[in-house]
Amino acid sequence: MSERTLPDDASQPVSFTRWRIALLFVMVFGFTVLGIITVKVHHDAPPIPGKVVHQSGEVLFTGNDIKAGQEVFLRHALMDNGTIWGHGSYLGPDYSAQYLHYVSEAVQDYTAKVEFGKEQQYLSPPERTLVDASVVATLKVNRYTPSDDTLVFTPPEVNAFLQQIDDWTNYFARPENNGGLPANYIRDPAELRQLVAFFAWTSWASVASRPGEDYSYTNNFPYDPSVGNLPTGQTLLWSALSLVFLLGGIGAVLLAFGRFDYLGWGGENDDSHIFPGLIPGEITDSQRAILKYFAVVGLLFLVQVVMGGATAHYRADPASFYGIDISDVLPSNILRTWHLQLSIFWIATAYVAGALFLAPVLGEHEPKLQSFCIHLLFWALVVVVVGSMAGEWLGSLQFITDNWFWFGHQGWEYLELGRFWQILLAAGLLFWFFLVLRAVAPSFKDKSSKEMSYLFILSALAIPVFYLPAMFFDGQTHFSIVDTWRFWIIHLWVEGFFELFVTVLVAVILFRLGVVRKVTATRVIYLDAILYFGGGLIGTGHHWYFTGHTNMNMAFSAAFSALEVVPLTLITLDAWDFIKVTKNRAQATGQVISIPHKWTFMFLMAVGFWNFVGAGVFGFLINLPIVSYYEMGTQLTPNHGHAAMMGVFGMLALGLMVFCLRQISTDVIWKELEKYVRISFWGLNIGMFLMLFLSLFPGGVMQLLDVLDNGYWHARSLEYTGQEWPRLYEWLRLPGDVVFIVIGVCPIALAGCLGYLKLRKPA
């Protein structure tokens, strides 16, 4: 393959030693701190007592019951229904918060009768004050003794436990009670008792004071004044100090950009950019083999958003789907599972395909049997996708019981696919890396190209390597420990190394198109990696503020999480650089020039916009500890999640798809495909804007207000979500969803399928 180069690209090789040292320092420092925090949670997590007893010494339940209850929780996919400590799905309640509030009411009733001989409603104001104070005093005392591994429950706590077995039995009885689970979803009395034991433990950990401290193991989350759960002083302190880090980080980076004019896509004020055309060279068999991947990307994207729309409908009307009860066949938790899993599958498939497409461009080499291996990898991915989805459905409906963790629904949000399918996925990613490596390897011998090639390969290697934390736990591993490793995947793998990998892909594309010089593209990769990981590695811990970690995590995570906004600001500026480069070139020629990859650039513009809005504005809004304390698990979380996941990673995936389709297409075929791409671009962006600003954002703000007024448990319960205004905001998802699916997703899926049918063979 011949290489499109810029007029000044024949300069002497540039040393990147300082860039390597800087990135190495950031990575070593970040992983050291993150590793310490991860190791510490094994010691700091709330203890699981060997037994929980009455004050008389009679055993109420055991630690094995708590662990078995967690397995019941996972096996029935309840993390895709409700949440524990704010983490999970938003169709049902926060189980720990709901249980805790029931306990507070039980203690109030017990205290009123014992101390005053009255029902609660007959208490005088002074008596009410005394009762409320007694509730806080009772529940804040930590009655766990490590020496005999025993936790003592007071009489009202025992009564609450026994009563809640019936309460949660009723919760699982009807879909309208629980956000669309099948009727009588959990019926086994033994399983229900174990499940409630798990809820009781999570509730106790969220209110009982950590030894030597005046706040709970979860830093007083959830917010519930009736039990004395109020934000801690350190939650306020580190929220304020994180703003100092944010302002300092933005100031330092803007100062650097002002001082060193070679940073960013502009290079060293270089105006020699050539106007972007197609990458010259013959299309290889392996590149045509990629087309089927993009057809599947479009189809998976379509199925994923339909699942998302159906899941949102369950929040608006949990009892039926437009008059039809589908909960026995397609319950809300399985629809939500598929919605999450398919988002990862189609986006990751696009990245995998984009890398395989660019590898022979970068290496100028087509290895033997590469197209055959790409076909083989494709069918392996199909097996993983279909097999894991089928397993999740069969597992959640209890058709797979004995081996549910391996082949059914593993239960952990975002990592729902069974361990067997996870292992196959990891093996497939390693095989993909091998295919990329063998295609890029020849470029290692070229002194001018090897730096970018090494970055390409190392970022690709990080994808299979950093998926491994998904294997570090099972169904009985302590919840705090699992949630720590889980976000190594959700945050570090997806938002960290996938983002770095895509930055490399974009840099390679822009260099090969002749938009930027090779040295500029390489610098941008290093710069973005330093900025991403400078805040993003340690910032992973902002998910762990209230899941059993100590204030050490909050201090580091709040400060460095604030720095994650810095690179997002610069990416927005980079997007305008793209526009300026093409505009200046067109003005210089005095001609109206066709841009073959116009829509690739348009999707990159959208990435810049949604990165700033979704990940930057909406992400920073909820990342401050004091905001997260009240907000976590409300609709402001999916508001950020949709804008960031679809707006950044989804738009990047579609940009890669459009790039590859255009690169392979003739002008005639592209003219037919382009109309679908153009419609899809505007449909996706307008639909997402409507979805966010008509429904998710205002609905999240209203739910946050209810947290502040009535406590976290209330805002997450049916008492709030079943009211008129919350349901109205759910119905207001409909216009945005319709635009997004019909005008946005359907055309791009059609373009992918038509591209495969028309281009899979040479003309």
Per-residue exposure over 711-728, b if at least 16 CB sit within 10 Å of its own CB, e if not = bbbbbbbbebbeeeebbe
The residues pairing with 94 across neighbouring beta strands, listed in sequence order, are 83
Q: Report the predicted TM-score, pTM, of the whole model to 2 decimal places.
A: 0.92
Residue-level pLDDT at 648: 87
Distance of CA 725 to the CA centre of its chain: 27
Instruction: Write down the H helix ranges in 208-290.
Output: 233-259, 285-289
The residues pairing with 229 across neighbouring beta strands, listed in sequence order, are 224
For the chain, domain boundaries: 50-218, 282-306+323-465
Q: Which residue matches tokens 């994180």?
A: 242
Sign of torsion over alpha carbons 738, 653, 470, 486: negative
Count Cα atoms within 13 angstroms, Cβ side, for 525.
Answer: 31
The residues pairing with 59 across neighbouring beta strands, listed in sequence order, are 53
- Contact of 662 with 596, CB cutoff 8 Å: yes
Q: Length of the chain in residues, anyone?
A: 763
> What H or E segment, with its residue span, contains residue 338?
helix 332-363
Residue among 339, 334, 331 at smallest CA distance from 308: 339
Other CB atoms within 10 Å distance of the CB of residue 698 = 17
Q: Which residue matches tokens 């990998």?
A: 501
Residue among 391, 407, 500 at smallest CA distance from 456: 500
Cα separations in angstroms, 398 against 77, 199, 292, 326, 401? 10, 21, 34, 17, 6
Topology, domain 50-218: Cytochrome Bc1 Complex; Chain D, domain 2 (1.10.760)
Cis geometry, peptide bond prior to residue 222 (ω within 30 degrees of 0): yes
- Contact of 601 with 656, CB cutoff 8 Å: no
Pairing verdict, β 87-88 and 83-84:
antiparallel
Mind listing the pLDDT tens digit for each residue in 380-402?
A: 999 999 999 999 999 999 999 88
The angle, 0 to 180 degrees and rounded to 10, between the axes of the packed helices 651-664 and 332-363 is 40
Sign of torsion over alpha carbons 544, 550, 555, 560: negative
The domain covering 282-306+323-465 belongs, at the CATH homologous superfamily level, to Cytochrome c oxidase-like, subunit I domain (1.20.210.10)
Instruction: Write down the H helix ranges in 488-597.
Output: 499-512, 518-539, 551-562, 565-589
Residue-level pLDDT at 589: 54
Rg (CA), the chain: 27
Residue-level pLDDT at 5: 46
Pairing verdict, β 51-53 and 144-145:
unpaired
Residue-level pLDDT at 194: 97
How buried is residue 653: exposed, middle or buried, by Cβ count under 10 Å (0-12/13-18/19+)? Answer: buried
The residues pairing with 417 across neighbouring beta strands, listed in sequence order, are 409
Weakly modelled stretches of the chain, pLDDT under 50: 1-11, 272-273
* Cα 72 from Cα 395, distance rounded (Å): 12
Residue-level pLDDT at 642: 94
